[in-house]
Structures are given as C-alpha cells and as structure tokens.
Structure 1
C-alpha cells in the first residue's frame, strides 16, 4: 500500500468525525510500497501518520476483506500502492465488495494503483465495473516515469480502457480527480487529499 494514499483519507475523515475502518485482502499489515517514501513524495499527512500510534495500529491490524460487508459502511476508499496491481485487479471478493457499494449508491473512491480494484466484473451481470464510466488512474506515462512499467503485471490505463472505461488524465503527477456518480477516482498519489475530500463531501451530503 502507498502510505501517503492512506494518510490523506485517514486524517480528512477522522478529523471530520468519521469513523475509519481499515481492511485489506488478507488482513493484518498490508505490505508498504517503497515508493511511499522519498524526496518529493512524503507529505505532511504521511509524516504525521508514521508517528501516530493509533493510526498505525489500525493499519497494522487491518480486517480481512472476508470479514467486512459493504452494507455496513457509508463509503469506500481504496488506497494506492503497486501491490494493488496484483492483489486487487482480479480478485472476485474485491469486485463483489465494490459492486455492492456502487449498487447501493455509496461513494467508492480509488486512487492511483488502487483503481485496480475497479478492474473486476460485476458478479450479477458479468460486465466490467468500469464499462462506460469516466475514470482516471495512474497513467502509462506516469508508470514509465516511475520506472515500474516493466515490473507491473499490466498497465492500468490500458486495462481500464480495454474494459470500456472513459479514461481522463491531467499532466503527470498533478492532482486530478474524476467523479462519475458515486464512483470517484484519483490519478496518482498526489490526488489522495482531493479525492479524500470528495469522499467526505459525498458522505456528509
């Protein structure tokens, strides 16, 4: 997981009085993407997070996805990190959770590689979750600039377009958020704060 894309929603939501529950595919502590740290990457929220025992405790003791249900929550935020390309994209449980939230009109927000969680099929219709929807995610250009294009199992922009999504992008590594009904996506790690505030507005609204 990209810790900066966890820090932003955690503080935006908790400081507004929203209870945050952390879940991951397997539960426990999700692997941390090494690109979470480094010059030009670390944010004030991330620096605060790493020294916050309560927040890091929630992160390290995440609930397994099998133990949570979309109907119990007001919204969903999928953090980024390269690991999502392996763990989220072709996971039927993830697709079912996302589909249940969208079908209920609940806001579903995904940022950067977290948008891989939207690459699955709707369990009832068998159609891609993103088909015909406007989305953004880490672009192919950004993946190349990060030096990971030959490492990831697929290029996220290409997969989304292949699934019928209407892909929108802004200049590389700038904050960019796209909303299509309850589905809200952020282009990259720098979009996490803006996307988190969009989630908060949707929940409060």
Structure 2
C-alpha cells in the first residue's frame, strides 16, 4: 500500500505572544480527503508527537470535505491527539512526505533534525518532498549529504510576503519564506495573493497558500499512481 507521511505543528502561539496559532485545518484535511479518494494511506507526525493545536482562524475556512475529515475518529485520534514522534517513523514506509502549514510551523519545522532526516531519506529513496503554504518552512533548511540545500536551483513556492502583510503577521513571523528560500539558492515562484498555485520541480511539489492544497495533492497523486 502506498503511504504518505503528513507533518503537523505542535506550536500553539505566535512566538512569545498570546495570539494562538497551530495547524491550518484545511491544509491537512483537504489533503487527506484527496488521498482517501485514491486509496493512498496516510500517517501523521509532529516534532514532539501527540497533540496538534488548530489555528482558530482556519475554522472559518471549512467546507463539507474538510469537516467530514475533521469529524472522523481516525483524524481526531491519529491526526490531532496522538500524532507520531519522529523516532516512531520509518522513512522506508513512505512514498512521500507532506508538510502542512499554519503559522506555528515557522517555529518548529525549520530546524528539527529528526524530521529533516526523515524527509531526506524519503527523497533519497526516490520519494517526494511536498508542502503547502507555511509548510515550506520544513524544506528551507534541508541539506543533502554534500551539504547543499535541497531547494538550491529548484522552483518552489510558499506563503508570500504579500500574503503575510494581508494576514497581518509580517511583523510577527520569525522569517519570510521567500527571503530564506532565495538565500538558500531556490527560485521562489508565486502568483497573485491567495490564488491557487502549485508547482513541481523533480521530486519537490509545493503550493503557495491554503487554497493550493488540492493542486499539490493532485500533482502528488499523479506521480504516485502512474
């Protein structure tokens, strides 16, 4: 059975503020729904394992597809309350890794060595490293065995500076995705703010914002089911 590993955040607030954040629900649930439609299994991992908080703002952007996953016992248990720790994951079991977003990931995705090892092993095994929105934070610091950034020379996308400004979070986030991506040699691509946009460059598939989940999922499904 083909399996994809979904990565989610454990971070509950924006840095040292009292402003709550967490997983952007639709970026997990919509992806899961697409995988279920074609019989691709998923597991869930977070940097610390266990509980995954939801960004409260993400609850305003749901539909029947998202709510159906959110209401399922499997997602509540495995995806929100009992996520795996990285040391419980065998990368050989997965054809791809998918980094979800929500602002929380900007604090616990970029420099987690255990998650980095999982992602690089999946990539080296011929699998796909994918993300949507702020999930690109999980890719920004990945390095190959030769010490080169994995995204160097690659076309990627993620939540843009314009979108951070519109979200009112530019002054709060610890970095800007495009700035770091380009500093690490990537070609950061984008479309109009909050427009669906996903691109593939080899084994990397990335989406710009929460409205790009389906586009990322469909590109990955195409690769995994050929």
Range into which the TM-score falls when normalised by the shorter chain: over 0.9
Alignment pair present for 1:62 and 2:83: yes
- 2:147 and 2:106 mapped to 1: Cα distance? 21
The verdict on how the C-alpha distance between 1:5 and 1:135 changes in structure 2, with shifts beyond 3 A counting, is same
Deviation at 1:44, TM superposition (A): 2.9
- Unaligned segments of structure 2, at least 5 residues: 1-22
- Are 1:142 and 1:173, in contact at CA under 8 Å, matched by a contact in 2? yes
The one of 16, 24, 29 aligned to 2:46: 24
Aligned to 1:51: 71
The 1-side partners of 2:218 and 2:142 are apart by: 27
Q: Secondary structure at the match of 2:130?
A: strand
Q: Partner of 2:166 in structure 1?
A: 145
Gaps of 5+ in 1: none
Q: TM-score with structure 2 length normalisation?
A: 0.85
Q: Distance in 2 between matches of 1:156 and 1:197?
A: 23
Q: Report the more deviating stretch, 16-25 or 117-126.
A: 117-126
Which of 206, 209, 222 is the matching residue for 1:185?
A: 206
Alignment of 1:7 with 2:22, yes or no, is no
User: Quick check: 1:175–1:194 contact (8 Å CA) kept in 2?
Assistant: yes
* Residue of 116, 124, 140 corresponding to 1:103: 124
The count of residues paired between Structure 1 and Structure 2 equals 203
Q: Secondary structure at the match of 2:134?
A: helix
Q: Which runs of 4+ in 1 moved over 3 A?
A: none
2-structure distance, mates of 1:194, 1:23: 22
Q: Deviations over 1:135-184 (max 9, x none)?
A: 00000100110011111111111111111100100110011001001100
Give the corresponding residue for 1:37: 59
Counterpart of 1:37 in 2: which secondary structure?
A: helix
Structure 1: distance between partners of 2:24 and 2:67: 13
What residue is the counterpart of 2:9 in the other structure? none
TM-score, structure 1 as length reference: 0.94
Question: RMSD of aligned C-alpha atoms?
Answer: 1.3
